Amino acid sequence: MLPLYPLLFKPILKEKIWGGKKLGEILGKPAHQTDLCGESWELSGVKGNISVVREGPLKGHSLSDLIEEYGASLLGEKVVQEYGHEFPLLVKFIDANQDLSIQVHPNDELAQARHNGRGKTEMWYLFQVDPEASLITGFSKPLNKDQYLQHLQTKSLDQILNREKVQAHDVFFIPAGRVHTIGKGILLAEIQQTSDITYRIYDFDRVDQQGNKRELHLEQALDAMDFNHYPQYKTSYEQSPNKLAPLVACPYFNVNRLFFNQTTTRDYRDLDSFVIYVCVEGALQVRWDEQHVTLKQGDTALIPALIKEVTLIPKSPYKVLEAYIA
């Protein structure tokens, strides 16, 4: 059995009606084959979209094969007990060249009943934002189901949806049930439950190259939706350098931002989980057991659970999302 090491995977590119060119131009993904590349799946255990190792002794091995072979050494004992041989998180980069559809995702209970799958709670880290860009998350005022349906029928959802102007390094937590859309001009990293279930509510009446509108899921969305109003939708966090800033702590994942321009060590001896590093800015060297790998903007690395300490050495000031199962 080959020894485990921090694993980088081949990107799985997704053409989308709202996609653009930034995944290639900014992140260096092989997205030149289309002007509509909307997503790069960096780490995926979704059936039919299983990530494959791109370099090192395990190059060419799929994530599912590695989980089968290494089990808790890769995932952690606690994660294996909870999820078996399913990888529990999906990591993406998303380029919204146009607004995504207004949508919602089901929670675990509803997803299990309808799709024999898991729900979709997610978080966004925005790292390149065009001027005047905005997004939608949640409702702008308290309302009930009947009021929502009235606005849906009159195509006046903009009157009840919470739209936020955004800038680089903004963070949003999107629990299952929260209505949302990523707006035009935003490039972001998304960390979410392993699920690809989306209910579209409104798609701006646009059509694809064949003149077809995309399917809507109005009835399914109604049961999934959280109609509550919340006073704060954007995540506040410490943005000073050389600090770890907690961003999200939920039952499905924890995410911190590491922003360093000096060498630091991360100790995972009290953590029974794999760790994911998503480099959203700069570059760094990850050292362990007298070995190292270099990460740059756009790289995502899976740190196996058996690696309990790494040293992070900046090649330039870096910002990295650190994700794990608590």
Residues 6+ apart with CB under 8 A from 20: 35, 36, 37, 38, 95, 96, 97, 98
Spatial separation of the C-alpha atoms in residues 297 and 279, rounded to whole Å = 5
Q: What does the CA dihedral 140, 146, 148, 151 come to, rounded to 10 degrees?
A: -120
Spatial separation of the C-alpha atoms in residues 50 and 34, rounded to whole Å = 22
Query: For this structure, is 287 an active site residue?
Result: no
Q: What does the CA dihedral 136, 139, 144, 150 come to, rounded to 10 degrees?
A: -50
Residues 273/202, Cβ–Cβ less than 8 Å: no
Catalytic residue among 118, 178, 200, 266: 200
Strand partners, 46: 49
Catalytic residues: 200
